[in-house]
Amino acid sequence: MRLYSLSVLYKGDPKVLLLKAAFDVSCFSFFQRASVQEFLTFTSQLIVERSQLGTRASVKEQGERGQCPEVPTAAPASSCLCPGVLDDFSRQVPRSEWPSGSPGTISYTALDGYLSKYQVGHPPR
């Protein structure tokens, strides 16, 4: 299974905020990459928005398992496929930054490393 994105989101009230994300869309053509990245972000936010706090949700599309966000109570959401990401993020980024954070304001650089680490049979280019 190829992992295209790894996102940390905060389920606030009334909306879900993207706090940080890493993407590997190198297998798509140059002209498709921005659209694919935008789609992955939108889909992640939509899944987290529709999930209850403290639960996990998965999505299957054409036989492939997609996002599997974990929506813990009072914490950012992260993929359950990648253990340790959420704990690491929670240790490095103060909780006070989550409700108003964004990819540009959150200082967390480990997602790219996690994305590479959890590629299964498809190392990034």
Look at the chain and report how many structural domains it folds into.
1
Tell whether 125 is covered by a domain: no
Specify the CATH number for the domain of residue 44.
Answer: 3.30.450.50
Interval 66-89: pLDDT, tens: 545 444 333 444 445 566 788 889
Q: How does DSSP classify residue 62?
A: T
In a domain, 23, yes or no: yes
Domain extent at residue 42: 5-120
Structural domain contains residue 66: yes
Q: Is residue 82 one of the residues assigned to a domain?
A: yes
Global pTM? 0.76
Instruction: Give the angle subtended at the CA of 112 by the CAs of 107 and 115, to the nearest 5°.
Output: 135
Task: Specify if 74 maps to a domain.
Answer: yes
Residue 90 is assigned to a structural domain of this protein: yes
The C-alpha atoms of residue 20 and residue 69 are separated, in whole angstroms, by 14
Assess if residue 105 is contained within a domain. yes
pLDDT at 23: 92
With 80 as the cut, is the pLDDT of residue 92 above it?
yes
61, part of any domain: yes
